[in-house]
Amino acid sequence: MQYQEFQPAALFSQHIECYWELRLLPNDLERRFEILAPDCTYEILLADHPFFITNFNKKQRERVGRGASLAGQKTTGFCFGVDRPTTIFGIRFKPFAFANLISNPLSQFNDKVLPLDKVFSISNEREQAIRALLTLDDAMEKVEAAEPLVSDLLEKSFPVDQDLRAQLNYILDRKGLVRIQDMFSEFGVSKVTLHNRFIQKIGLSPKKISRIWRMNYFLQLAKNAPEKNLTELGLEAGFYDQAHFIKECRSFFGDCPRRILQQQSRMVGISQQIIERRFSNQYDPR
- Tens digit of pLDDT for each residue in 117-154? 999 988 888 898 899 999 999 999 999 999 988 988 88
Answer yes or no: is 285 within a domain.
no
Rounded to the nearest 10 degrees, the angle between the axes of helix 191-201 and helix 180-187 is: 100
The CATH number for 200's domain is: 1.10.10.60
Looking at 58-67, 106-115, 175-184, 217-226, which range is the least confident one?
58-67
Q: Which H or E run contains 2?
A: strand 2-6
Q: Please count the structural domains in the chain.
A: 2
Same domain, 117 and 188: no
State which of 154, 189, 221 marks the end of a domain.
Answer: 154
**What is the structure's pLDDT at 55?**
87
Same domain, 186 and 230: yes
**What is the structure's pLDDT at 95?**
97
Query: What b-and-e string marks burial along 208-221, b requiring 16 or more CB atoms within 10 Å of the CB?
Result: bbbbbbbbbbbbbb
**What is the structure's pLDDT at 157?**
64
- Is the model's pLDDT at 32 over the cut of 70? no
pTM: 0.95
List of E strands, 7-139 = 16-24, 42-47, 51-55, 61-64, 67-71, 78-81, 86-93, 113-115
Provide the residue range defining the domain that includes 140: 2-154
Q: How far apart are CA 100 and CA 72, in angstroms?
A: 16
- Is the model's pLDDT at 285 over the cut of 80? yes
Answer yes or no: is 32 within a domain.
yes
Same domain, 127 and 166: no
Answer yes or no: is 107 within a domain.
yes
**What is the structure's pLDDT at 185?**
95
Provide the residue type at 161 as one letter. D
Same domain, 11 and 140: yes
**What is the structure's pLDDT at 156?**
64
Same domain, 139 and 191: no
**What is the structure's pLDDT at 267?**
92
- Is the model's pLDDT at 30 over the cut of 80? no
Same domain, 135 and 51: yes
Same domain, 253 and 179: yes
Using pLDDT thresholds of 50, 70 and 90, give the confidence band for residue 31: low
Same domain, 140 and 212: no
- Is the model's pLDDT at 94 over the cut of 90? yes
The CATH number for 129's domain is: 2.60.120.10
Answer yes or no: is 119 within a domain.
yes
In the predicted model, what is the mean pLDDT of the chain?
93
Per-residue model confidence as pLDDT tens digits over 156-213? 667 888 999 999 999 999 999 999 999 999 999 999 999 999 999 999 999 999 999 9
- Is the model's pLDDT at 231 over the cut of 70? yes
**What is the structure's pLDDT at 126?**
87
- Is the model's pLDDT at 281 over the cut of 90? yes
Per-residue model confidence as pLDDT tens digits over 51-75? 999 888 777 789 999 999 999 999 9
